[in-house]
Structure formats: C-alpha cells, structure tokens
Chain A
Amino acid sequence: MRGGMERRVVITACSAITPIGRSKAEILHHLVHGISGVKALREDGLLSSYIHSNVFGTVDYPIVYDFQRQHRKTMGPVAYYACQVAKEALESAGLDQEFVTSGRLGVAFGSTHGSPTVQRNIYKTFFSGSRTEFSSIGAVDYLKSMVHTTAVNITKMFGITGRVISSSTACTTSSQSIGYGYEAIKYGMQDAMICGGADEYDTTAVAVFDNLLACSTAFNDTPHLTPRPFDAKRDGLVVGEGAGAVLLEEYEFARKRGTPILAEVIGFACNNNGGDLILPNLGGITETIRIGLREAKINAEEVDFISAHATGTKMGDVIESQAIYDVYGSLPGVVGLKSYMGHSMGSCGVIETIIALYLMEEGFIAPTLNLDEIDERCAMINHVVKLRESPIRIAAIQNFAFGGVNTNLIIKKMP
C-alpha cells in the first residue's frame, strides 16, 4: 500500500510533429479524410538500397526553427524535433519564467537512441583509420547523439532546473515519459512536467525490423495502403519519424492559473513480460491493461476509446486483440492510429495521446485506416472502421516495446 499525498494531474498543452501534419486541424483533416502519411523510404546513401521494406512514415514538410546558436550547437536532428514541440507546448501553456526555472518544473523526454544521424558520422570517423580524422570528432558530437539529448537540450533551452527523466525503451519511450511525469507530479516531487519523445529519420530502425521480417514489404508501390493493423492482409510494421510533447500540471496549480485543461491523467501502468525480449506476450499485456484500470480506479466498461499499439505485425495485433477482449470484452471502440503514419518509435505514445486528446475534444473516433477485412483472429473486439460520432469520456493509450516493456496510460475528459 502506498501512503501519503496523491495529487490530481492534468494535461494543459500539447504539440506534435507527425507524418500527418503539425497542427490539430492538419492532423484531424488526415484522420477525417483517411489520408496516410506513409511515403516511399528516402534514400540514405547507406542502408536503404539493402532494405526490403521501402515505406516510411515521413515528415516531409518544412519546419521553421528559430533556435539561437548557443542552443543549436548541442542539437542533432532528434533534439530539433524535441525542442520544437516542447517550445510550442510551453509557449501555449504560458507558464511564467520564474516557475519554469524554479525547480518545480521537470522534463521527461526520450528517444529510441539519441541521434542516429550524428552517431553515423562518429562511426564513419572511427572507421576512417585516420588519426587526424579521429581527433576531429567534435566536442558536441556526444551531446548531440547521446540517449538523453532530447531531455537535456530542452532543459538548456528553457533553463529548466527540475527533475530529468529520459527513458529510452523503444516504442514505450514517450508513454513512459508521460507516465513517469504523471507520477512525479502525483506524488508531489514536481508541480509540472514537460513530457514526450522524438525520433528522427533513421534507416537503422527500418533495417533492424526488416531483418526480423517484421516490416511491411508488400506495399512498396502503394505506401499509403500500409501498415494495416488488424487487417487480414497486414504484413508488418512501417517505421516512421516524429515528435510530441504534453505539459502535465498538478490540477490545483493549473486551476489557479486559469489555464485551459485538455484532460486529466487518471492512471498509468508499466510492466515487463519477464522473458522474451521480442515476442508479444498475452499475459504481460493483459496485466498492464488491468493495472492501468486499477491505478485509475475505474471499471473496464468506463473506457470509451482504446488507442491500440497495433503496429500491423502478424502476431502482435492478434495478441493485443485478445488482451483487449479479455479485459474489456467488445465494448470500447478500438483504433490503431499507426495505420495513418506508421510507427514513429520513441514518439508514438505521446503522438497517440495527443490524437486521443483531439478526438476527445471533438467527440468522434477516427477509424483504423486500411482495415478493409478484419482478421478473424482480431475480430472479437469493437473495431472502428468508419468515422464514428462518439463522445469520449475516458481513453486508454496502449504501447508495447521490444524488451517486453508494456504501458497503459488512461486519460479522462474534464467535465
């Protein structure tokens, strides 16, 4: 039993960079009209010609950054993404500077493995065999590429002096960021946390999943038709890029500020399958879902909407469907949002949370894209296959990662 203080935590701002747009209006436009952000994999001059999967969840629109050099100098591409969404969320929230630097605001932000683009350049130098080249590795290369580069570049840019949590657990990176940020506020260590994740364009991740035969390869000529979560013709995941940030605040603090509240975080669960590091595990996933409901102190039938992890792999979607059915039956509407933008790795959890906020605010559920023929092994749950006008009071965002890590984040619309 836990004792002591438990405080309410709310989401007061968000910002995203996704393959289906930046703003709420752009993202909703893609969802409403069934427009995919999956495109042909960009040439990288290294791996792309060897990879069987030629599709990628692509951010191909210009992003205008106005960072000063003193900040840019320690940032690789992944930190640009992270700092941009953090900046927009913080600006939107309008926290005063005295609070930002007070130590009561912390950062929970991560990426899959820092900046692969910068790491690639470092490795090139290592293998050049030249001492001159070796000594030219810049002092900033580590700062740009390290695993916690997103989190600490955010602290530097805004002078944030509170806690830093930088999870790096592949597909659960940013759902952990939100969950651990939530817990830091709930138990009184911080009053606000800027939480999220980012991952830049990177063919290494595509190559890894491709070699595991987990990537989609049958739709290279029609990228918008993949991934296909829960569909009988699904053939694997599609790697993507993106970033997202949410600002969490202690409820009374936010209320006194008079800031608009987007939703309340009411529960978070994280566990591990305790065994295989790759295969999805029914017991582990089911337990995560159950723990999330218990932490949120709600019953299964109170959840209206589930954002499933749903990567579009043969086995993962079946196991997740079974876990959802075992806990919820066929009540809540289930959607696989990766069908629109692929799997943006470390940022998928926060992006899916932000989209859940948008759907909650607008009162409809977007369908899973490319779900033309539901796989009979996934058919026992309530798939949303057409846009459904439906108020969402409580939403669950599920994410599962290599390494057997599972998360379940539960958010509730404010009355």
Chain B
Amino acid sequence: MTREEIVTQVLCFFGEEFEIENPGLDDNLREKHGFDSIDAIEMLLKIEKMLGSELSHEEKKRAMDIRTINHICDYIESLAAARAAASG
C-alpha cells in the first residue's frame, strides 16, 4: 500500500464509521473531533482487517499515543513494513 492509499482508506473509515468527514491530516483528533478511546479500539480492529493480520498487545499499546490522521498513517506504514520484513 502506498501512503496515498493508506490515507484514502483511513479517511474513508473515519467518514463512514466515526462520521468525521475530511479531518485535517494534522488535526488533534480528540480535541477537534471528539475521537476517544472507544474509537481508538474500533480503529485498531479496522487496521487489523486492512493488514490481514492481528496486532500484538505491544503494537496495540503503541497506538494509544496516536493523535492525528498522519500519526495513524505512520503507524500503519510501520506495521506493514514490519510484516513485510518478517515475511521477506
């Protein structure tokens, strides 16, 4: 997945699931859009589906520092890269 594809998928998910339409990529999601811990857990389930693999507890804990759409995309990129390295 390219960065652009990841951004598109994440924004699509935010619109459909969280009714947060076109947030700025660096918006603080909690402060500006009411994104909370419940949403974060839902987002992790979505990311597992995107990647086609489960996230470890350590990986999930890392997600708790996420604040922006760009952070989410960075996180997904790093997970995808780790999986590619492990399989390659």
Contacts and interface: CB of A to CB of B under 8 A. Distances in A.
Interface in A231-281: none
B54 interface: yes
B48 interface: yes
Given A74-B38, A140-B38, A69 B45 contact: no
A35 B36 CA distance: 47
A69 B38 contact: no
B42 A139 contact: yes
A139 B54 contact: no
A139 B38 contact: yes
Interface string B17-34: 011000000000000001
Contacts of B51: none
B82 interface: no
A386 interface: no
Interface string A154-179: 00000000000000000000000000
Interface in B18-69: 18-19, 34, 36, 38-39, 41-42, 45, 48, 54
A136 B45 contact: yes
Contacts of B54: 135
21 contacts: A69-B18, A69-B19, A70-B34, A70-B36, A73-B38, A73-B39, A74-B38, A135-B45, A135-B48, A135-B54, A136-B45, A138-B41, A138-B42, A138-B45, A139-B38, A139-B41, A139-B42, A139-B45, A140-B38, A140-B42, A143-B38
Contacts of A69: 18-19
Nearest to A143: B38
Contacts of A74: 38
List the 5 closest A-B pairs by CB distance, nearest first: A139-B41, A69-B19, A70-B34, A139-B38, A140-B38
Most buried by B among A70, A136, A138: A70
Contacts of A140: 38, 42
Contacts of B41: 138-139
Nearest to B20: A69
A140 B41 CA distance: 9
Contacts of B39: 73
A138 B41 CA distance: 8
Contacts of A143: 38
Contacts of A135: 45, 48, 54
A140 B38 CA distance: 7
Contacts of B34: 70
A139 B19 CA distance: 17
Nearest to A74: B38
Contacts of B42: 138-140
A349 to B, nearest CB: 32
A240 B39 CA distance: 34
A69 B54 CA distance: 27
A139 B42 CA distance: 7
A136 B42 CA distance: 9
A73 B34 CA distance: 12
A138 B46 CA distance: 11
A121 to B, nearest CB: 15
A70 B30 CA distance: 12
Nearest to A73: B38
Contacts of B38: 73-74, 139-140, 143
Given A73-B39, A138-B42, A140-B42, 9 more contacts: A69-B18, A70-B34, A73-B38, A136-B45, A138-B41, A139-B41, A139-B42, A139-B45, A140-B38
A69 B20 CA distance: 10
Contacts of B48: 135
Interface string A116-153: 00000000000000000001101110010000000000
A35 B42 CA distance: 46
A139 B48 CA distance: 14
A239 to B, nearest CB: 32
Nearest to B18: A69
Interface in A57-81: 69-70, 73-74
A311 to B, nearest CB: 39
A136 B19 CA distance: 20
